Structure 1
């Protein structure tokens, strides 16, 4: 009943918005929004796609610094930061945690594919706009955009000199954000633009172990763009950028320590704190209060991009070329037991290089047949390595001995020991695409398109153990079994962590696909456009980076190590190659102009059927295994609108209803306390019929912007947003203990500006309702190991609390 009422209220709000806008007789007109959602400049109201647009002004006014903070303003879109990466979700679909994945949501920076989740952390700065396209975008955007696409469009060099300086300061987290933009002509026919940003933050979490605030952030960004009119018909643009973003600490904490209720069971933090107490070390408090006990995390990232774009305008046709190189380097250290106990350290290094070339030809609009097509090529190289280190002063030896008196020989090897994984992946892809629109008459259009893709990948992975002296331990050449007379081996030590050694394994794949689209559009009248779209898309298969075991259960398998010591089986079977993911989408929509252009109302009703969803599942100890999750159906309704109520007041609203169902998911990791029930996958759970994580049933955003002159030289500006999100699960185990309650977040801004907008001073209030939102989390690593499977605790990344910043803008 509760959810039905919320849906009723949402429908009522839409009805009031539409009725109010229709009744308006004001001469106010909304400013037209131009997008490139179909790789050509068009009015948003002419595009048959569910699109949300966040303008440069909104990004600045709301203090949005990255895609994660931007996603709060777009229903059915979320980005959530984790300990080592990001999850990017549209309409409930995301790829999970694994460097072997490219995202189901394609990110594009000035048309260049940003398929790696790490690239979502690049600061948002000096953009024209961000377009979020929901639903399969497999033809014009192409690569792997099976759930949707996020298109970031940079601001371009201007014909006249202009510049701006922006400074923001927020005292609670000691956030300082400085931005400078200079743009204008350099010589006749040559224009330039320089964008520089420097941002620092001390954080809003208290780390009691290190006695400091976290997450400490240092970000810098510089971009230079040159635009050259080569001839009257040929223009060229060269963009070079570098972003650095370094962090210390995380906004995460351990909480909710529980046991399974059976005789002899014990919760995780009781065991952990018992060991801590024995050593005279601080205890982990286990509360959800933005206070964490942790020994420190660091991350250093550098992203570089060079993009050369050339356009040649012919009569009725434009030919364009986009050549781009993208690369990044990341080094990170994670205290990934997420507690103040000295248990283990995890580190990783990731290096990525990408080259792409696209040639595109685009007809002018208004002919009987409009078309766009081209060729695309991309090559990439990924090198990834990570390690788990057992510190010399760590508690692992004590924990092992507590499991069984027979464990002494294993425990003796732990101080200073380490295990390391190396992964390499090379990829080459080429594609050809064409989309043709037949303008049947002035009111009716039919679009047909397709994209043919051929992608090859080669990958390798190995796992090596090391002694405390740093000497590599050769992997067994034959499967090893537990020898109770010789427990003191590194295979048995790391077998307790479900990590097994193996020599290099290799794989390759060649994946081809054809993705079609058919769209019909009907201008029912001058104010209403209706459309219907059917499309199919895919995301290519690949190779698992982060599994801690060999995919062949008979290779080097440590049988029953934990069974001897803790009463449970420890069969180690990893994963390596995973299959392609496919989607088929039907979408019906409408773009409506109301009250003589004073208002707009857009609707999209959709249904997508996914097969072989690619998911990454925590193995319950330290690793993640990739699997294809069977089938899922996603369907729902999206609504957005704007209304210029008066010359001074503009309202905007958007909302989404999302229905997600795993039609077939027999191979999911079980939640804590859930008995394995999968008939075909021993030890796993059948989650068919359940919702995926990050799939709130309802979301909506309502905003208002008002500005008016209060004197001859001053303007007062007021803005407010209310963002509502229904409850959802935030862990891939679908554990009910990881349910985030529904939240309502209020953001507001008040500004005083010079009438010609030369300067502006503003107060920005973010999360004024002080909502506590758990963005990501799951089972605390090693909780099950320390409790012999009888207990657990959870960790979560928590959002920023209420904060108020002062912002100063100066334009020249």
Structure 2
């Protein structure tokens, strides 16, 4: 019975680093020990010399955290929570890649039960029935491996237990918000146990397409997971199988500035949570299905040795459609379809003694991916938009004022554009809707060997040293196609009669060292040095030609005949130095985790625009520094307060001359960097006769950030924001609970991102904040 006991089951009470509270009867409330597995073994969070924010599965459920990207709101120092399934916007300590193609991966690694998920379309499976989510900041080349140059998100699903139990959780709210999670844990016999979980999440759209009056933003996700576990004295094995069908919104765009386009009839009058698109709202989608099988086997070899095998098989099918120009006039639309199959195998040998704990391991992976990128546009519209842009730039070059009204009265299609420029009237109009496509057929594989050890040098000092060697191989093929056209080659001025293939190999040795010093039983400090690595890759949407081929002279030729090859970029590497403090004070009623860091990138990968062409390259060197703080305090037996703060400063220090004029972008902030972010969660618990009433207030803040793909000393900035949620919940001693919640109490409106203009698209916002929403959650355990 929980009556008369102070038991906190608030949002805060089940977080780790925002941490877990299930206290029972105590004379004075204390913060209990939190166990994490960041270093591949169970350790107290306070003993891990790494910056980690971790959250329990119960917290994830109560806070309505949908997937890995949604962790950005809760974790200061992490940003990039856009509405779509793309990982390129995810940002840790100011670092992201901004590559929506498939020639490389994101800078933050996403892992589930030890299996790498870091591919758009498959990484953002729904969060339900989880044990833990750990957000690890800074390069993790040794502990997590490839493609964790900025950090890692490690997800652990709930395991079967030896007690028969279950739970049903329902959520209902405004805008058709419906959520259901059902879990059944069923022991089979003394050695076999099983667990089944189902999840459903639906929500109506909440952003209006003013062109057809319909709402965009609807979600319809359905997922199931089954886990079978075997345990005896020496072997523990877990087989997990899951499937999810996902349907959600793509990114939608709202033009706010057309001054640079030469296309002055752009509409910029859409209101809050409104946009304009010529694509029917029902066709704007981000949808797919994800499946996965994971087998984890741990064998106790005796004498402190254990052997772990982690086998993963995953795949997804994905379809995406957006109207990138953000206008109700048909300019161009973007579509992507994708199929992926992925297999990985890892073996690890662990040894623990009082003096040293170590592990060594090896891993191998193979990925096959097929993707089609398709851009659809109208030839006549392109003639007008590009024509206006060119005419405006020519006028400016000669110090003249561009007469847009006269231009638009004379130029209405390709024929009138060429006549306007003095080519005569023999040119006909464009031939309507055109499609440019790129098909990708790629196979990636790689392997790595690693080791890590922690020595207890004295009672107060631990030393950790680790290293990982990685080799990545990529076989990349691209085939360019498109409809015939009379005039404009918009996406690329060529086609390819067959797949153009290229291959690349990249290797790296990542290392880490950490010295942990316990000042006393409650406080420790650490100094760490770590490196990280992300393999090189290929530009999805363009081709590299021999030096004797001038791309400006290409006009519809076969790229195969011209000797074209996939355009590659090199690996990026990062070094990070970090000083941290972890401690408990005030008789265990206050916990402080703080860190100061500085990193340097060599050959940082990033996406950027060159006119209308999107490219990914090693843009040069970059550096960043920052401070992070997690503070947890229990001022009274009834009040629980968590404060998380992060400050970051980044800059491009040595830009590549082929990327930009160094004078223009030297010292520019890295796009997506949030200078300051914070989270405040306070819970007041009122013990009652047959349960507990908990009132929780959550406030989250992010400063403004430089826009997507914009490297400039005075860039366009995405909005900063502060949003607040309220939850009032009753947790009954009879195993049921009810929580009334209001998300975004003040109905704060902001945009999650911004991108600049090019020759035919105005500067535009994307990612609209969700409106205030009221709802109720009801849970029952049995």
TM-score over 0.5 for the alignment?
A: yes
In the alignment, the residues of structure 2 paired with residue 608 and residue 331 of structure 1 have an alpha-carbon distance, to the nearest angstrom, of 37
How is 1:7-26 mapped onto 2 (pairs within 5 angstroms)?
Answer: none
In the alignment, the residues of structure 2 paired with residue 105 and residue 611 of structure 1 have an alpha-carbon distance, to the nearest angstrom, of 17
Secondary structure of residue in 1 paired with 2:587: helix
How far the C-alpha of 1:704 sits from its partner, in A, is 1.0
Structure 1 residue aligned with 2:154: 151
In the alignment, the residues of structure 2 paired with residue 123 and residue 632 of structure 1 have an alpha-carbon distance, to the nearest angstrom, of 34
- Report if aligned partners of 1:617, 1:732 keep a CA contact under 8 Å in 2: yes
In the alignment, the residues of structure 2 paired with residue 807 and residue 402 of structure 1 have an alpha-carbon distance, to the nearest angstrom, of 61
Secondary structure of residue in 1 paired with 2:72: helix
How is 1:54-133 mapped onto 2 (pairs within 5 angstroms)?
Answer: 54-81=55-82, 85-86=86-87, 87-97=89-99, 98-133=101-136
In the alignment, the residues of structure 2 paired with residue 408 and residue 769 of structure 1 have an alpha-carbon distance, to the nearest angstrom, of 59
Closer/same/farther in 2, CA of residues 400 and 84 from structure 1, 3 Å limit: farther
Closer/same/farther in 2, CA of residues 559 and 652 from structure 1, 3 Å limit: same
Q: TM-score with structure 1 length normalisation?
A: 0.83
In the alignment, the residues of structure 1 paired with residue 425 and residue 169 of structure 2 have an alpha-carbon distance, to the nearest angstrom, of 61
Structure 1 residue aligned with 2:191: 189
How is 1:409-558 mapped onto 2 (pairs within 5 angstroms)?
Answer: 412-467=429-484, 492-494=487-489, 496-503=490-497, 504-547=499-542, 549-552=543-546, 555=549, 557-558=551-552
How far the C-alpha of 1:201 sits from its partner, in A, is 1.3
Q: Deviations over 1:124-146 (max 9, x none)?
A: 11111210000111112112211
Closer/same/farther in 2, CA of residues 497 and 358 from structure 1, 3 Å limit: closer
Q: Does 1:727 align with 2:718?
A: no
How far the C-alpha of 1:206 sits from its partner, in A, is 1.0
Secondary structure of residue in 1 paired with 2:760: helix
Closer/same/farther in 2, CA of residues 53 and 144 from structure 1, 3 Å limit: same
- Report if aligned partners of 1:255, 1:795 keep a CA contact under 8 Å in 2: yes
- Report if aligned partners of 2:754, 2:766 keep a CA contact under 8 Å in 1: yes
How far the C-alpha of 1:770 sits from its partner, in A, is 2.3
How far the C-alpha of 1:502 sits from its partner, in A, is 3.7
Structure 1 residue aligned with 2:4: none
Q: TM-score with structure 2 length normalisation?
A: 0.86
Closer/same/farther in 2, CA of residues 802 and 575 from structure 1, 3 Å limit: farther
Among 695, 701, 707, the residue aligned to 2:685: 707
In the alignment, the residues of structure 2 paired with residue 245 and residue 704 of structure 1 have an alpha-carbon distance, to the nearest angstrom, of 33
Structure 2 residue aligned with 1:221: 223
Structure 1 residue aligned with 2:755: 778
In the alignment, the residues of structure 1 paired with residue 188 and residue 354 of structure 2 have an alpha-carbon distance, to the nearest angstrom, of 38
- Report if aligned partners of 2:445, 2:474 keep a CA contact under 8 Å in 1: yes
Unaligned ranges ≥5, structure 2: 1-17, 19-25, 385-411, 557-563
Structure 2 residue aligned with 1:166: 169
Q: Does 1:654 align with 2:655?
A: no
Among 349, 353, 358, the residue aligned to 1:361: 349
In the alignment, the residues of structure 1 paired with residue 493 and residue 55 of structure 2 have an alpha-carbon distance, to the nearest angstrom, of 45
In the alignment, the residues of structure 1 paired with residue 316 and residue 206 of structure 2 have an alpha-carbon distance, to the nearest angstrom, of 28
How is 1:290-329 mapped onto 2 (pairs within 5 angstroms)?
Answer: 290-294=273-277, 295-296=279-280, 297-315=284-302, 316-329=304-317
Closer/same/farther in 2, CA of residues 766 and 737 from structure 1, 3 Å limit: farther
Among 604, 617, 620, the residue aligned to 2:595: 604
Secondary structure of residue in 2 paired with 1:576: strand
How is 1:755-794 mapped onto 2 (pairs within 5 angstroms)?
Answer: 755-756=733-734, 758-779=735-756, 784-785=759-760, 792-794=762-764
Q: Does 1:286 align with 2:273?
A: no
Structure 2 residue aligned with 1:258: 258
In the alignment, the residues of structure 2 paired with residue 800 and residue 140 of structure 1 have an alpha-carbon distance, to the nearest angstrom, of 36
Secondary structure of residue in 2 paired with 1:121: coil
Closer/same/farther in 2, CA of residues 301 and 393 from structure 1, 3 Å limit: farther
Structure 1 residue aligned with 2:629: 639
Among 721, 738, 744, the residue aligned to 1:743: 721
Q: Does 1:619 align with 2:621?
A: no
Query: After the TM superposition, which of the residue ranges 382-391 and 497-506 deviates more from structure 2?
Result: 497-506
- Report if aligned partners of 1:192, 1:226 keep a CA contact under 8 Å in 2: yes
Closer/same/farther in 2, CA of residues 392 and 518 from structure 1, 3 Å limit: closer
Structure 2 residue aligned with 1:400: 414
Secondary structure of residue in 2 paired with 1:259: coil
In the alignment, the residues of structure 1 paired with residue 426 and residue 217 of structure 2 have an alpha-carbon distance, to the nearest angstrom, of 39
Closer/same/farther in 2, CA of residues 517 and 176 from structure 1, 3 Å limit: same
Query: After the TM superposition, which of the residue ranges 197-206 and 795-804 deviates more from structure 2?
Result: 795-804
- Report if aligned partners of 1:108, 1:114 keep a CA contact under 8 Å in 2: yes
Structure 1 residue aligned with 2:778: 808
- Report if aligned partners of 2:482, 2:495 keep a CA contact under 8 Å in 1: yes
Query: After the TM superposition, which of the residue ranges 118-127 and 450-459 deviates more from structure 2?
Result: 118-127
Closer/same/farther in 2, CA of residues 457 and 716 from structure 1, 3 Å limit: same
How far the C-alpha of 1:180 sits from its partner, in A, is 0.8
Q: Deviations over 1:388-446 (max 9, x none)?
A: 23469978784534543259887644324322211122111111101111211111111
Closer/same/farther in 2, CA of residues 704 and 551 from structure 1, 3 Å limit: farther
How far the C-alpha of 1:363 sits from its partner, in A, is 1.7
Q: Does 1:629 align with 2:639?
A: no
Unaligned ranges ≥5, structure 1: 1-16, 18-24, 261-265, 273-283, 468-488, 563-572, 670-676, 680-684, 787-791
- Report if aligned partners of 1:95, 1:101 keep a CA contact under 8 Å in 2: no
In the alignment, the residues of structure 1 paired with residue 196 and residue 749 of structure 2 have an alpha-carbon distance, to the nearest angstrom, of 38
Structure 2 residue aligned with 1:31: 32
- Report if aligned partners of 2:494, 2:555 keep a CA contact under 8 Å in 1: no
Structure 2 residue aligned with 1:278: none
- Report if aligned partners of 1:96, 1:615 keep a CA contact under 8 Å in 2: yes
- Report if aligned partners of 1:88, 1:117 keep a CA contact under 8 Å in 2: no
In the alignment, the residues of structure 2 paired with residue 399 and residue 137 of structure 1 have an alpha-carbon distance, to the nearest angstrom, of 54
Closer/same/farther in 2, CA of residues 285 and 740 from structure 1, 3 Å limit: closer
Higher relative contact order (CA 8 A, sep 6+): 2
In the alignment, the residues of structure 2 paired with residue 737 and residue 574 of structure 1 have an alpha-carbon distance, to the nearest angstrom, of 33
Closer/same/farther in 2, CA of residues 307 and 560 from structure 1, 3 Å limit: closer
Structure 2 residue aligned with 1:570: none
How is 1:197-212 mapped onto 2 (pairs within 5 angstroms)?
Answer: 197-212=199-214
- Report if aligned partners of 2:196, 2:226 keep a CA contact under 8 Å in 1: yes
In the alignment, the residues of structure 2 paired with residue 321 and residue 776 of structure 1 have an alpha-carbon distance, to the nearest angstrom, of 41
In the alignment, the residues of structure 2 paired with residue 423 and residue 440 of structure 1 have an alpha-carbon distance, to the nearest angstrom, of 52
How far the C-alpha of 1:555 sits from its partner, in A, is 4.2
How far the C-alpha of 1:91 sits from its partner, in A, is 0.5
Closer/same/farther in 2, CA of residues 368 and 714 from structure 1, 3 Å limit: closer
- Report if aligned partners of 2:716, 2:756 keep a CA contact under 8 Å in 1: no
- Report if aligned partners of 2:82, 2:251 keep a CA contact under 8 Å in 1: no
Structure 2 residue aligned with 1:13: none
Closer/same/farther in 2, CA of residues 793 and 409 from structure 1, 3 Å limit: farther
Structure 2 residue aligned with 1:565: none
- Report if aligned partners of 1:130, 1:152 keep a CA contact under 8 Å in 2: yes
- Report if aligned partners of 2:297, 2:310 keep a CA contact under 8 Å in 1: yes
Secondary structure of residue in 1 paired with 2:70: helix
- Report if aligned partners of 2:413, 2:429 keep a CA contact under 8 Å in 1: no
